[in-house]
Amino acid sequence: MQSLTVIPETKKFELVDGPVPKITRPDQVLIKVAYAGFYESGLHLLEGNADSERLFHFRHELSGTIMDIGNEVKHFKKGDRVTVGPNAGCGSCLFCRSGRPYSCLLGSDSTIGTWASFVVVPVTRIYKVPDNVTLQQVLLTKPLSQLINALQIAGPITVGMKILITGAGILGSLWAQVLYHQGHRQVTVIDNHNKLDSLKRNNTGFTLTTRDELKKREKTSSSYYFDLVVETSGDPSVMEQVMSHLQKGGKLCCCQMASPNAEFSVYPFEVFMRELKIFSVNENCFSFQAGIRLIEAMGNRYLDYESLGIKIFPLEGYREAVEAIKSGSVEKVVFSME
């Protein structure tokens, strides 16, 4: 089988041929992969902006069909369409027992390969794909489950509240689609004009503007302040700017991984006086099932690959895929193994 992996010595991708992996434990399943996702954040990792553990073991969403199961696997059978969720943690450390397996003290396991046509996965990591959800659509579960996690942490975000999304990449676009689907209309999205073009096609009626145009607004204008800022750019200068756009009691939700060396300034006086809240969200296995249900509810109308800027490449076309992401011509790459 083919797999795309990062060679530690060169820190570069290589397509390698190898044997189909075998189940080695009774709680595992063998999946024939149909699609596997690749995010721009993968490029950050490849460029050495993350620790080596994450560089060589990071992996992203995949979907496929079960080809074999261990003899202790219940509730799943050969032929089931499945997707793979985030690590459920060790189950026994302080954070796992506090409902935060994504902060597990033992870190992420490495039982799943990178991008490969077959993978062996513990049954605790897989989720059935509903009949009315495609194997392509279900790849969006990871960012949508992160979004659900963010909404839960942010507290009640009722219709009518003013929301700013910074960044119109795949994460920003998904946020825009979900907020529109949930009835929100007081939404502003900032990015450069090129990035905003794809959102214009969605006819949400949201305000689409640039950072500079937003900055030009008078601070006294009510259109300057927001109850929630959803930060999806990972750019510290954007984070610094939007702090001044927060309404009293406003919340800044950091959804994108920034560079480990990135920093921005905050005025603690303002944070105190205006009761501002800054928080980040990570993937969480407890919101993964809810992410699949959200995909069922939204369907093709909101989760169309083309309008979200997602392009499918064969695994052997990975060089073109990486260049496409680097050039900004696509928002997200999905590898097809079918």
Footprint on this chain of Zn ion (rule: CB under 5 A):
89-90, 93, 96, 104
Alpha helices in 67-169 (DSSP H): 141-154
Distance CA 173, CA 330 (A): 13
| C-alpha distance from residue 141 to each of 95, 130, 179, 261 (Å) | 23, 12, 16, 29
Question: Which three-class secondary structure state does DSSP give residue 65?
Answer: strand
Q: Is-contact 18 108, C-beta < 8 A? A: no
Least separation in angstroms between CB 111 and Zn ion: 15
Nearer to Zn ion, 96 or 228 (CB): 96
CA nearest to 169, candidates 200, 139, 199? 199
Nearer to Zn ion, 104 or 276 (CB): 104
Least separation in angstroms between CB 105 and Zn ion: 5
Residue keyed to tokens 């935060």: 100
Nearer to Zn ion, 37 or 101 (CB): 101
Least separation in angstroms between CB 80 and Zn ion: 28
Nearer to Zn ion, 66 or 104 (CB): 104
Least separation in angstroms between CB 106 and Zn ion: 5
Nearer to Zn ion, 93 or 153 (CB): 93
Least separation in angstroms between CB 288 and Zn ion: 17
Distance CA 173, CA 162 (A): 17
Q: Is-contact 178 154, C-beta < 8 A? A: no
